[in-house]
Amino acid sequence: MYVLGIDGGGTKTKGVITSIDGKTVAEATVGATNPNSIKQDDLKNELHKLIHSLKEQSDKEFPKIVSVFAGMSGVDRLTDRTEMEKIIRTLVPETVMVSANNDAIIALYSGTLGDPGIVQIAGTGSITFGLNEKGVLDRVGGWGYLLGERGSGYALGSDGLRAAFLAHDGLSEATAIHHLILEHFQVKSLPGILDSIYQSKNTKEVIASLSKLVVKAADHGDKTAKSIIKENGLYIGKSISCLIKKLFSEKVIQEQIPVVITGGLFKRIDLFEESIDKVCRENNIDARLVIPKMDPVGGAAIAALKEANISVDNNFPDIFSHHINYNYLEGKK
């Protein structure tokens, strides 16, 4: 038996076919499939290309697929999930079980192997997502950069920009972020970046990319940058604590709750861990930060196994990651 896992995003979509123990027999990557950012015809076309490629790579295994799970960004409402499942069903054998949900759940499963817990995503955007022992799902944040995505690359970049302009205007103390932004945009004065910000095709991405300048400034001891990182770390801790209290009973909270951390910002978890831990301890929560061994698409494969009521072996992440890397290296030869 085999399962098909899909990790769909706003820039690219990845799919894998694996055996029930994690051996990957096919993998492919196509373009964006977020229904909020592309037209439905384009979405259908990308999914068709993805599954067609996977099928070509696994002629013998494809008919043996028993379950498909798609974790897709922008798929939050029941109507969205139903529509996505409907599209995928046209691309696989009619006997295959098909499920779709928000991509946060596959990020969670990449670290918990399908068990309850919390996932904190901190990339360009951010969301705190969780699943309890009763199967109840809930979230904190992730409402878009205009409404609430603190603790994200965008938040760090935006805070850094704000601090630089305050320093430029003489309303706050000087910060190394100011100079780093000038270097980044290759301008002589800060107002010279306004066109690059306001006339960009993707302002959110441009601002989020500046988060690395805040991190660089903090590494050099800049007080403003360190304060920005600390405040965002505290917010992440508050979000995690809030969601744990919403989802789990007092009895369960006394145990150690796994918190899967994923996203580009956590490549520097050393800058955030102390603040996160501080807030959790203040809320009497023993959170265990988990760095997943595999990509979210591996979590999608695990979700597919769970939907088919197939138990997940603890060795799945190691076997899956080995085969993903091996297949990639083989393809480069």
pLDDT in tens, 4-30: 999 998 778 999 999 999 999 999 999
pLDDT band, very low/low/confident/very high, at 35 (cuts 50, 70, 90): confident
pTM listed for this prediction: 0.84
Sign of CA dihedral 198, 200, 204, 210: negative
- Measured distance CA(291)–CA(272) in Å, rounded: 14
pLDDT score of 94 more than 80: yes
Structure tokens at 309: 């009521």
- Measured distance CA(287)–CA(193) in Å, rounded: 41
Structure tokens at 65: 């697929």
* Whole-number average pLDDT of the chain: 91
Estimate the share of the chain in helix, then strand, then coil, as percent rounded to the nearest 5. Answer: 50, 20, 30
117-122 and 126-131 beta bridge pairing: antiparallel
What is the predicted pLDDT for the residue at 328?
A: 42
pLDDT score of 249 more than 50: yes
Taking residues 41-55, report their average pLDDT.
95
Return the minimum-mean-pLDDT range out of 76-80, 271-275, 315-319, 327-331.
327-331
Domains in the chain (CATH in brackets) are: 2-102+294-332 (3.30.420.40), 114-292 (3.30.420.40)
Helices 211-219/153-169 angle, 10° precision? 70
Taking residues 134-139, report their average pLDDT.
92
pLDDT score of 87 more than 90: yes
Between residues 206 and 144, the one the model is more confident about: 206
Taking residues 47-60, report their average pLDDT.
95
User: Which among 216, 78, 239, 221 is positioned nearest to 157, based on CA atoms?
Assistant: 216
pLDDT score of 332 more than 80: no
Taking residues 191-195, report their average pLDDT.
94
pLDDT score of 210 more than 70: yes
What is the predicted pLDDT for the residue at 331?
A: 46
What is the predicted pLDDT for the residue at 124?
A: 85
Helix ranges (DSSP H) in the chain: 40-57, 78-89, 104-112, 153-169, 176-185, 194-198, 203-208, 211-219, 223-247, 250-253, 273-282, 296-307, 316-332
Structure tokens at 90: 């046209």
What is the predicted pLDDT for the residue at 324?
A: 65
Is 102:71 a contact under the CB 8 Å cutoff?
yes
CA atoms within 13 A on the CB side of 199: 5
pLDDT band, very low/low/confident/very high, at 38 (cuts 50, 70, 90): confident
